[in-house]
Amino acid sequence: MLEFSCILDFLEKRYLLSLCCVDDDNLWCANCFYVFDATTMSLWLMTDLNTRHGLYLIKNPNIAGTIDNNKKNISLIQGIQYKGCISMLEGINKKKAFIAYHKRFPMSQFISAPIWSIKLEEIKMTDNTSKFGNKIIWHRNTF
């Protein structure tokens, strides 16, 4: 359980993710600001449908990505590789996510874009702060 709390703490403290998507044979990656929702193990982000990644996400919601702590000292590096499924939020979930997103990123109130949820399915965290190369694995079906 201590290892799982390390993942939760890391996701809560970070704010920028990489998002990798595919449309047929076309690959694309983007960086997006996010808010972590621990109750659903989801990442909420805003992105426009007219971006390349927005267009790809509509066609194929299966995505992967990374989140890191951007440290130069190798013994302080922590990072996450994740896999999940993304969808645009609707109804009460959309309202809840927008409130949390606007609170964390106040400038987002002036942007008109849908809010999306990445339902995390798998996480592999590298945590060199506890031991070099330490890996913590989480799967939704074992949560």
pTM of this prediction?
0.93
Mean pLDDT by 10 residues, the chain (143 residues): 85 97 94 97 96 95 95 90 98 96 95 96 94 92 72
Domains in the chain, CATH or no CATH each: 4-75+88-123 (2.30.110.10)
In terms of C-beta density within 10 A (0-12 exposed, 13-18 middle, 19 or more buried), how is residue 123 classed? buried
Q: Are strands 115-127 and 78-88 parallel, antiparallel or unpaired?
A: antiparallel
Predicted confidence at residue 1, as pLDDT, reads 55
Check: CB of residue 19 under 8 Å from CB of residue 92: no
Q: Are 102 and 109 in contact (CB under 8 A)?
A: yes
Rounded to whole angstroms, the Cα distance separating 43 from 33 reads 10
CA–CA distances in Å: residue 64 to residues 3, 18, 57: 21, 8, 11
